Amino acid sequence: DARVTQTPRHKVTEMGQEVTMRCQPILGHNTVFWYRQTMMQGLELLAYFRNRAPLDDSGMPKDRFSAEMPDATLATLKIQPSEPRDSAVYFCASGLVPERSYEQYFGPGTRLTVT
């Protein structure tokens, strides 16, 4: 049963600290997405990769957020320095685009709390 995995599931950190979230997409999927979910904003697309190449990161605050995909089995989202307003649930999703653009498989999320 293929699924997207994310680590850590929960992270509590102090303002100013670096946070790294990791994602293992489903093998064979060519596109990986990072989303942030908050009560106020809903699901926001932060960045996505196609065949490991970054295609769009316009949803991310550039000065503190960075996303990479060092290999086909690992995507990372880094926040440095973290701020309380970054507290949210961060989801990674993968899919096969454009063949099945409507179908994304989401991981369980990383719940980030910045104090």
Partner 1 sequence: QQQVKQSPQSLIVQKGGISIINCAYENTAFDYFPWYQQFPGKGPALLIAIRPDVSEKKEGRFTISFNKSAKQFSLHIMDSQPGDSATYFCAASWRGGGADGLTFGKGTHLIIQP
Q: Which is nearer to partner 1, 81 or 105 (CB)?
A: 105
Q: Which is nearer to partner 1, 79 or 93 (CB)?
A: 93
Q: Which is nearer to partner 1, 6 or 82 (CB)?
A: 6
Segment interacting with partner 1 (CB under 8 A) among 15-23, 47-55, 61-69, 73-81: 47-55
97 and 30 Cβ atoms separated by less than 8 Å: yes
Segment interacting with partner 1 (CB under 8 A) among 17-25, 49-57, 67-75, 78-86: 49-57
Segment interacting with partner 1 (CB under 8 A) among 17-25, 64-72, 79-87, 95-103: 95-103
Q: Which is nearer to partner 1, 27 or 102 (CB)?
A: 102
CB atoms within 10 A of CB 76: 15
33 and 45 Cβ atoms separated by less than 8 Å: yes
Beta strands (DSSP E) in the chain are 5-7, 10-13, 19-24, 31-38, 42-50, 53-56, 65-71, 74-79, 88-95, 104-106, 110-114
| Residue 34 near partner 1 by CB under 8 A | no
Q: Report helix, strand or coil for 64.
A: coil
